[in-house]
Structure 1
Amino acid sequence: MGWVQRRRDHGGLIFIDLRDREGIVQLALDPDRDPDAHAKADRIRNEFVLAVRGIVSPRPAGTVNAKMRTGEVEVEIRELRILNTSKTPPFMVDDTTEVAENIRLKHRYLDLRRPGIQNNLMLRHRVARTVRTYLDARNFLEIETPILTKSTPEGARDYLVPSRVNPGTFYALPQSPQLFKQLLMISGFDRYCQITRCFRDEDLRADRQPEFTQIDCEMSFVNRDDVIEVMEGMIATVFKEAIGVDVSLPMPRMTYAEALARYGVDNPDLRFDLELVEISNQVKESGFKVFAEVVKGGGIVKALNAKGCGTFSRKEIDDLTDFVKIYGAKGLAYVKVTEEGWQSPIAKFFTAEELSALDRALGSEVGDLLLFVADSYKIANEALGRLRGHLGHKLGLTSKTNFKFVWVTDFPLLEWDGESRRHVAVHHPFTAPMDEDVSLLDGDPGKARAKAYDLVLNGSEIGGGSIRIHDQSVQSKMFDLMGIAQDEAREKFGFLLDALEYGAPPHGGIAFGLDRLVMILTGSDSIRDVIAFPKTQKATCLLSEAPGTVDEKQLRELSIRLATRPK
């Protein structure tokens, strides 16, 4: 039984390719063998639903299709039933026809018949099954946490749900099960896991959705190394079971400071080199005032040697300049290294000794393109780090079958938000400071490092976690440093603060983005291709037309009056 992929009439013999989730098989209908079935086949069209009975036979000599798994056989039909007809679909249900994404998502039930999408979702199933099996063997308990919970906005916006039985109050859909999994550790469950839905009302992009799925884990009586060892074993098992790739363990580690120094970002793509080099010392006394004044003002100058890219045109370099401006850089200086030396508008501002020092620092050779950004520490790293990733794609250095993992550790605990004039948590407010940095919380909290760790794969963060604060006084101090007043902390997080006073064990955990992980495993370009019913970048569902309006009666029951009506 299945759907008609295509029908071909060969002047008497009719062939039908019948498709289900396992693949396609060819049906052969001979009018001499079964006139009734052959007569029915004459009116069959694409996407009709059929049931057939017949004999599986070798295909005649010269008709074998080596591109099909079933290409050596066909089914000689003895009986055929049409279970249902179909309108002409808006696109061919195959993997070769180019279809606009909005059309695919509007008719997602047809798009989901395409073999590529079906294979993605079947692989997703295998990943989830492998995760559960691995964690179960290591004594994790899968425990469900609430979907309707309390709004505690710190970071992304919450999705709010009005309560009918408690007028004027709201639930929030969870951004993560963070607080509940910590409470489970306090409750003595020791090892928790859950493949769970989470919700964040934030702007979308190719690898982000308003509702997404996490592989969520927490462990008691552990340190950072314990969590990393168990979790990288899980990821290695997933890669082996899902796509047959062996991952070398232990995975490499890199501190946050090293990641920024070498790659400009905290999620470095290690599939290629193109490392950044700070050259502030080499240019601080140079005649090029743009560089010298930035260093004098407390900024930095960083450079990237794009090996062999000296052939780039002026337009290509202008495009790179426009790219770094997206990340706040004021401009991009460049040098082409030629047989005659530096070819660049800035070359005349440097002495021979300075040019030689820069060549040594950057390892420059004839044919290279040197790219420079001079700005604040944050902007210089971000702009040049993102440019590095952009060049990696442009130069074809980012093979989807080359998997490079790295744990990034020792993140800052807090960072200063100039707009709100307060510290904010780099990960979340429940992350513990490094033991040796606890004393900094009273005098210089910005220098304190966190017991946090991210797992990065090919430039994408696929998981992040930390050892949690299990001391109530330290947690209260953290809220205070973030400008959360005592009464506000009590209102938002009082249940956690109370629980921490009843023998909370040391604990830590991690969450992996299942959607993003499967996206990388399948080599998909969009996270929407690994989710059955995804949202668009405007957080809408083209299939069901959600979100939608509701009638006045429903609003009255929820004690809600709209200030404006949707257009």
Structure 2
Amino acid sequence: MLDNLGNVKRTHRAGDLRLEHVGQEVVLMGWVNARRDFGPLTFIDIRDREGVTQVVFNEELFADAHAKAKRLRSEYVFAVRGKVVKRSDDTVNSNINTGEVEVRGQEILILNEAKTPPFEINSTNLPSEDTRLEYRYIDLRRQKMQDNLRLRHRITTSVRNYLDKQGFLEIETPILTKSTPEGARDYLVPSRLSAGEFYALPQSPQLFKQILMISGYDRYYQIARCFRDEDLRADRQPEFTQIDLEMSFVQPDDVFNLIEPMVVEVFALNGVEVPRPFPRLSYQEAMLRFGSDKPDTRFGMEFVDFAAHVTESGFAPFIQILEKGGWIKGIVLTGGAKYGRNQIDNLTAFVREKYKASGLAWIKLGEAGELTSSLLKNFGEERLKAMAISAQAQNGDLVCIIAGTMDLVAAALGGLRLELAKREGLIDSTKWNFLWVTTFPMFEYHVEDKRWYAMHHPFTSPRDEDLDKLSESSNSIGEAL
């Protein structure tokens, strides 16, 4: 039979107790984290959000409490009243914050029983993600999950405090709204009052914050929930939270100088030191060097341009690509000469299937300097050696080359660069390389639709020197930044 809590009130959390509490009578409430039965002595670790405390029940001192403690099992919910005592030196547990003390249990209330959990909360051998999601309330009891949510809370609190000091107002914007052109599909909600009509969940508060700016609110922010009906990817989820803000009457440096200290402050919460100022790359430079407008600069393997060598080679298929404004670029994988034909074929399949590249050309320099290449027949050994030298390839390296339109090469070679870095363990997951990518194109042309689209959204102000490129008489709209 379960006990009623009655008027019993918790005095401390399970992670609070220290040596200064020795001699105090306390009441703790929480879950059974672990149980150890040694006959006349029964040890129960009680767990709550703040940590774990060991409670010892002694049959000789408090027989009723001891008998009741023997009924406890994993994840039972209980309350205990007892006195804090100092542990002997040989029983101190340095793995927990309360490890120098324990509670001598005098009275116990069993508030709720529990079935055997589907997985052990303290185990590192976790079940499948499906099982964890089915029993989400169990998974959320794990220390790592609680640490994650606690850190998230500290981050949002830090952001709010920082932006408040910078003169921002936190303003909530509508969730049920009208569908507007964005970068993904909308989630739709049928309207009860207007048959056949639908609300859209916001992909971002973009229109609303623009309204706030023209209404004179000057500085707005929101920890905003956003919804996008798109497939899951590493950096994409159907619903997510973003720090959304907007400012009036500012220059780019105002944005840089606002955001950088905030990022530094947030990462410091997790013990990560972020140096300032952040490097800045223009969009054009980022695409030329990495093929991405969000490049990972934690490793090298930057693009190498082989246009000059191709022009001199006379190789017609590549020359035709260049004449149409395409790219012939490559990357160097240090130590990549170890890749056999099957591995190279695997890389070729990767760029073909994922990025629709026509193929992958390669140059391999053996440890003794011997050269093999898929282009040997068309380019000759001397020209290929010159290409390898211009790419700063050394003996033992592999040069991967992709030819095609600018967009295709950027995507395919950029994707191959990341894939090789993952395979070779070149990405230091403990390292954070922040940078700004600036001067994005205002518009991008879609060949299928035969029209220009805003690359991000139409609320970005063009540079003063590019205003003339947006006039009806101008043919330079694609050059506006």
- Structure 2 partner of 1:223: 251
Aligned equivalents of 1:348, 1:300: Cα separation in 2: 21
Match of 1:191 among 190, 197, 219: 219
Residue in structure 2 matching 1:130, options 136, 158, 182:
158
Q: What does 1:377-456 correspond to in 2, within 5 Å?
A: 377-441=406-470, 442=472, 443-450=474-481
SS at match of 2:33: strand
Partners of 2:107 and 2:265 lie apart in 1 by 45
> Which digits, 9 at most, give the CA deviation of each residue in 1:518-542, with x for residues without a partner?
xxxxxxxxxxxxxxxxxxxxxxxxx
Separation in 1, partners of 2:122, 2:422: 28
What CA distance in whole angstroms lies between the structure 2 residues aligned with 1:67 and 1:318? 50
Encode CA deviations 1:432-459: one digit per residue, 9 max, x unaligned: 2222112112322442333xxxxxxxxx
Q: Is the 8 A contact 2:363 2:384 kept in 1?
A: no
Where 1:203 maps in the other structure, the secondary structure is coil
SS of match in other structure, 1:25: strand
1:282 aligns with 2:309: yes
User: Unaligned stretches of 5+ in structure 1?
Assistant: 451-567
Q: 1:24 aligns with which of 52, 58, 71?
A: 52
Q: Within 5 A, what are the aligned runs for 1:88-107?
A: 88-94=116-122, 96-107=124-135
Partner of 2:109: 81
Structure 2 CA distance for aligned equivalents of residues 206 and 362 of structure 1: 31
Aligned to 1:162: 190
CA distance in 2, matches of 1:397, 1:388: 10
Q: How do 1:454-473 and structure 2 match up within 5 A?
A: none
User: Is 1:177 aligned with 2:208?
Assistant: no
The answer (yes or no) to whether the contact 1:160–1:173 under 8 Å persists in 2 is: yes
Who is 1:38 aligned against? 66
Distance 1:213 1:120 in 2: 15
Name the structure 2 match of 1:453: none
Distance in 2 separating the partners of 1:207 and 1:90: 30
1:205 lines up with 2:221 in the alignment: no
Q: 1:337 to 1:129 in 2, by over 3 A?
A: same
2: CA distance between counterparts of 1:290 and 1:46? 69
- For 1:334 and 1:400, the matched residues in 2 are separated by 29
- What do you get for the CA RMSD once the two structures are aligned? 1.9
Cα deviation per residue 1:462-494 (whole Å; 9 max; x = unaligned)? xxxxxxxxxxxxxxxxxxxxxxxxxxxxxxxxx
> Which structure has more RCO (C-alpha within 8 Å, separation ≥ 6)?
1
Deviates more, 1:189-198 or 1:121-130: 189-198
Is the Cα–Cα contact under 8 Å of residues 434 and 448 in structure 1 kept in the other structure? no
Contact 1:283–1:354 (CA under 8 A) maintained in structure 2: no
Read off the aligned partner of 1:125 and give its amino acid letter.
H
* Residue identity in the other structure for 1:284: T
Q: How far does the alpha carbon of each residue in 1:205-252 deviate from its partner, in whole angstroms, 9 at most, with x for none?
A: 233222221211111111122112111121112112x21323222211
User: Are 1:410 and 1:449, in contact at CA under 8 Å, matched by a contact in 2?
Assistant: no
Q: Cα 1:315–1:63, aligned 2, differ >3 Å: closer, same or farther?
A: farther
Instruction: Report which stretch shifted further, 2-11 or 113-122.
Output: 2-11
Q: Distance in 1 between matches of 2:134 and 2:235?
A: 20
Contact 1:158/1:200 (8 A) holds in 2: yes
Q: Does 2:327 correspond to 1:300?
A: yes
**Displacement of 1:288:** 5.2
Give the conservation status (yes or no) of the 8 Å contact 2:219–2:247.
Answer: yes
Mapped partners of 1:400, 1:356: distance in 2: 35
* CA deviation profile, 1:121-156 (whole Å, cap 9, x unmatched): 110000000000000001111112111221113331
Is 1:152 equivalent to 2:180 in the alignment? Answer: yes
> Residue 341 of structure 1: which of 348, 360, 370 is its match?
370
Q: 1:433 to 1:23 in 2, by over 3 A?
A: same
Q: Which amino acid aligns with 2:81?
A: R
Deviations 1:308-367 (A, max 9, x none): 222234333333222222112122222221113212343343335423421222101111
Give the alignment partner of residue 271 of structure 2, picking from 217, 241, 244. Answer: 244
Secondary structure in 2 aligned to 1:305? strand
**Which letter does structure 2 place at the counterpart of 1:42?**
K
Name the structure 2 match of 1:350: 379
Determine helix, strand or coil for the equivalent of 1:183.
helix
| Contact in 1 for aligned 2:224/2:244 (Cα 8 Å) | yes
Which letter maps to 2:426? L
How far is the alpha carbon of 1:203 from its aligned partner? 1.7
Instruction: Report the Cα distance in structure 1 between the residues aligned to 2:275 and 2:112, rounded to whole angstroms.
Output: 51
Within 2, Cα distance between the matches of 1:8 and 1:315?
A: 55
Q: Tell me, in whole angstroms, the C-alpha distance in 1 between the residues paired with 2:64 and 2:311.
A: 89
Distance 1:345 1:199, change over 3 A: closer
Mapped partners of 2:231, 2:240: distance in 1: 14
Counterpart CA distance in 1 for 2:31 and 2:448 is: 57
Contact kept? 1:53, 1:77, Cα under 8 Å: yes
| Residues 1:272 and 2:299 are matched in the alignment | yes
Letter in 2 for 1:190: D
